[in-house]
A and B are shown apart, each in its own frame.
Chain A
Amino acid sequence: MKHLTEYRDARLVKRLLERLRKTVSKKWHIMEVCGGQTHGLVRHGILDMLPPEISMIHGPGCPVCVTPVSHIDTAVSLALDHNVILCSFGDMLRVPGSSGSLLQARAQGADVRVVYAPYEAVQLAQQQPDREVVFFAVGFETTAPANALSVLQAHQLGLKNYSLLTAHVLVPPAMTAIMSDPETRVNAFLAAGHVCAVTGMQVYEPFVKRWQVPVVVTGFEPVDLLQGICTAAELLESSRAELVNQYRRAVHPEGNPFAIKTADAVFEKSLREWRGIGEIPESGLRLRSVWSAFDAFQKFGINPELPAASTAAQQQQCRSGEVMKGLIKPAQCQYFGTGCTPETPLGAPMVSSEGACAAYYQYVGGWHHES
């Protein structure tokens, strides 16, 4: 695992920090879009090492966090009331819905299983033909192709007992929503490296042109993150709105054509509610009508647009919109750590460890300035 040493090299980090200090002459707000990047910044203690001119704004890029309460409630209800085998990636299990999490449903007797890949769920459906298997398809453009492939595989195998509970979200519409807000302070973006490994970089070209902001496609290790921040700062200081690829070892400008084609064959864009943020047009994926036999919403007669009663109330209190626009830091919210904790989140960023508020809550805590 070379990346554990090379991309965490303390000397290289020091050199990049010096380069950054020499580059910046004024205050810049840079948003890292992906929750994995937020996690990296706090886990390695990078935020405190940055020069004071650089302020990182933590973006909405945590698919677990932004999955609406209504979808979690649907998953819980499918598992509890419809006797399905509900398969999910591990970190969805803890996320609270309005009447509990999937973990709690499991404790009540629901058949909830953690899988690492959707194909495991397809195999399960093959092995248990008399049970309905539902895969909770959560994630950005990164997980969509494999989830789409599972539908194609299930179709090829002639399976009638496999379906997807689709809760996919797309990154560029969320970035557009952030820039569309007149209050936003974001000057530049670190685009999510792994999303770009699938989609390629072209999707950001119109974005860069329209909003005149630099976008640096960035990886997740300390050296990646600092290179991304340095590049963004250099572009900002020289007033260049450009699209740059820092994460060249993983991201090809064209992306992964097979993955794009596969996802496109199965999914189409749709209106999506983001937990704690609200509805964003064309920001989600749903199964194309030709694949409706694999759509858990249709199969079990559930309306995907139906918001949970508690969602609206939560959204009114939650200030995640201000966090994501860079107006406040998580700890400046009056509910942070008191009315809003990972166990009882008011909004998306407190839900999973990759959400900005949860990352602060975990790694920075209330002790930030004393220690």
Chain B
Amino acid sequence: MKAEDKRPVVKLSCAAPAAEFTQITLSHGSGGTQMRQLLQQYVFECLNNDWLQKQEDAAILQVEGPFAFSTDTFVVSPLFFPGGDIGDLAVNGTINDLAVSGALPQYLSLAFILEEGFSSASFLRILQSIRRCCAAAGAAIVTGDTKVLERGKGDGIFINTSGIGRLRVGVQLGVSFLKDNDCLLVSGPLARHGIAVMSRRKGIGFETSIQSDTQPLHEICGMLSDALGTDLHLMRDATRGGVGTILHEITSQSRFSAEIEESALPVEQEVAGACEMLGLDPLFVANEGVFVAAVAAHKATEALALLRSHRFGQQAALIGRLRSDLRAPVVLNSTIGGRRVLPPMRGELLPRIC
């Protein structure tokens, strides 16, 4: 795995294979020769490593505990969007779930549900993204699965990844470690992924240069936990539902409320404009490379400086703190000096009429 990972991206070995098929068919999931062809020419060629080479029913791993284990399924539409594709999400999503748990991501599983008729060129493009993201995170795909559904029963491709990783030494993360007055930080600007995807969605499409923020957080999370030790109390990956949903999760699982300063929320101007136009609150729009951290108040300045020193944390911000004297779960002090409850998101994000 290691030798493969170090290969520069420009020398990807998975160039388009001999064009024996251009579309996925049901036989690619049947277990027969076409399936072997798909695995050999595409999956193994792209993600080649010792575990996959052996083609056993399970990968045998040497894992020292304690380790974190996480799984996630990806159904994004469109599959390709500004700044990434479903392959990036599938790897970074699981990497980030492990990273915010204080683990160093090591081994991933990868399962595809493909729809009959899905283009093999798109499949290859997605595999290349998966390969690139695994290399960037230093993790290997060690086992996997492929199924093919009849046309009309899928949306091109669905991906599931699971991952395990060894927990970093000295990490103590979780809602039970939260303390009154803990500072809440976000590692980057909000809502970029959700808006990038929406900008390409059929029926909504609009012109924008906004790119998804899909990126691996293992390095920046590791840096923060190494420096802060037990003064880092919690990290959460702010994906679906955005930072606002994470704040509600944290407060519903603990005895604390969160007090947030609207003026401190990092939102890029173009993202803010798009949210305004679509009638969405950037606090509740998805990210794919932003996490929320709760740190001991006396370490907040240090934590912020650390985050900002990392390339994925340059726009990190201190957005508020935990409090035990509020009755509402999340209270927001508005930019103009007002104060209100931040309600949890309900149902699907739907654009407003006016």
Contacts and interface: CB of A to CB of B under 8 A. Distances in A.
A91 B350 contact: yes
B336 A46 contact: yes
A48 B351 contact: no
A125 to B, nearest CB: 14
Contacts of B204: 114, 116
Given A1-B272, A365-B328, A370-B327, A45 B354 contact: no
Contacts of B352: 89-91, 352-354
Contacts of B354: 34-36, 63, 139-140, 142-143, 194, 354
Contact of B351 (A63, A91, A143, A371): A91
A47 B338 CA distance: 8
Contact of B334 (A36, A44, A120, A139): A44
B276 interface: yes
A138 B353 contact: yes
Interface string A21-40: 00000000000001110000
Interface string A326-368: 0000000000000000110000000011100000011111011
B328 A14 contact: no
A364 B343 CA distance: 9
Nearest to A365: B341
Interface in B321-338: 326-328, 331-338
B163 to A, nearest CB: 31
A365 B272 contact: no
Contacts of A342: 346
Contact of A8 (B269, B335, B339, B348): B335
A362 B351 contact: no
B126 to A, nearest CB: 27
Contact of A63 (B334, B336, B350, B353): B353
B273 A116 contact: no
Contacts of A64: 353
A290 interface: no
Contacts of A36: 354
A42 B340 contact: yes
Contacts of B269: 1, 4
A7 to B, nearest CB: 10
B275 to A, nearest CB: 10
B336 A10 contact: yes
B336 A8 contact: yes
A89 B353 contact: yes
A47 to B, nearest CB: 8
B341 A364 contact: yes
Nearest to A46: B338
Contacts of A92: 353
Interface string A84-112: 00000111111000000001000000000
A371 B348 contact: no
A370 B327 CA distance: 6
Contact of A49 (B326, B338, B341): B338
B351 A222 contact: no
Contact of A94 (B337, B339, B347): B347
B165 to A, nearest CB: 37
A43 interface: yes
Interface size band for B: 20 to 34
A92 B351 CA distance: 10
B155 to A, nearest CB: 15
B148 to A, nearest CB: 24
A201 interface: no
Contacts of A44: 334-336, 338, 340
Contacts of A353: 352
A370 B354 CA distance: 32
A354 B352 CA distance: 9
Contact of B337 (A10, A34, A361): A10
B149 to A, nearest CB: 18
B203 interface: yes
Interface in A64-81: 64
Contacts of A343: 346
Contact of A1 (B276, B346, B351): B276
Contacts of B347: 94, 103
A25 B328 CA distance: 34
A116 B274 CA distance: 14
A92 B338 CA distance: 30
Contacts of B326: 367, 370-371
A367 B337 contact: no
A151 interface: no
Contact of B353 (A43, A94, A143, A361): A143
A48 to B, nearest CB: 6
A328 to B, nearest CB: 20
A363 B353 contact: no
A48 B339 CA distance: 8
B338 A113 contact: no
A89 B328 contact: no
B337 A14 contact: yes
Given A91-B352, A365-B343, A367-B328, A4 B336 contact: no
Contacts of A45: 332-334, 336-340
Nearest to A4: B272
B13 to A, nearest CB: 42
Interface string A110-132: 00011110001000000000000
Interface in A251-276: none
Nearest to B263: A10
Contact of A120 (B203, B350, B353): B203
Contact of A116 (B203, B332, B336, B343): B203
Nearest to B335: A8
A169 interface: no
Contacts of B339: 45, 48, 371
Interface of B: 203-204, 257, 269, 272-273, 276, 279, 326-328, 331-341, 343, 346-348, 350-354
Q: Which 6 A-B pairs have the closest CB atoms?
A: A45-B338, A370-B327, A367-B328, A90-B350, A1-B273, A362-B343
16 contacts: A4-B272, A4-B273, A9-B336, A44-B336, A45-B337, A48-B338, A115-B203, A194-B354, A354-B352, A354-B354, A363-B340, A364-B340, A365-B343, A367-B328, A371-B339, A371-B341
Interface of A: 1, 4, 8-10, 13-14, 34-36, 42-49, 63-64, 89-94, 103, 113-116, 120, 138-140, 142-143, 194, 222, 342-343, 352-354, 361-365, 367-368, 370-371
